[in-house]
Amino acid sequence: MKRPAAVRNAIIRSWSDDAAERQAALASLNDMASTDMVDIRTAQPSVVARLRDPSPEVRELALRICEYRADMGADIGMAVPMLLSMQNEPDPELRELVRRALFYANKRLGGLLGAHLQSP
76 near 44, Cβ under 8 Å? Answer: yes
Cα–Cα distance measured from residue 35 to residue 32, given in angstroms and rounded to the nearest whole number: 6
78 near 43, Cβ under 8 Å? Answer: no
Q: Which residues contact 104 (CB under 8 A, 6 or more apart)?
A: 67, 70, 71, 73, 76
Q: How far is CA 14 from the centre of its chain?
A: 13
- Percentage of the chain exceeding pLDDT 90: 62
Would you state the pLDDT for residue 119?
A: 61
Q: Looking at the predicted structure, is the pLDDT value of residue 3 above 90?
A: no
Interval 18-61: pLDDT, tens: 999 999 999 999 999 988 888 899 999 999 999 999 999 999 99
Q: In this structure, which amino acid lies at residue 72?
A: M
Q: Single out the residue of 33, 24, 42, 38 nearest to residue 70, CA to CA.
A: 33
Q: Looking at the predicted structure, is the pLDDT value of residue 117 above 80?
A: no
Q: Predicted confidence band at 107 (pLDDT cuts at 50, 70, 90)?
A: confident
One CATH from 1.10.3720.10, 1.10.110.30, 1.10.10.10, 1.25.10.10 for 5-116: 1.25.10.10
Q: Where are the domains of the chain?
A: 5-116
C-alpha distances out from residue 71 to 20, 65, 68, Å: 27, 10, 5
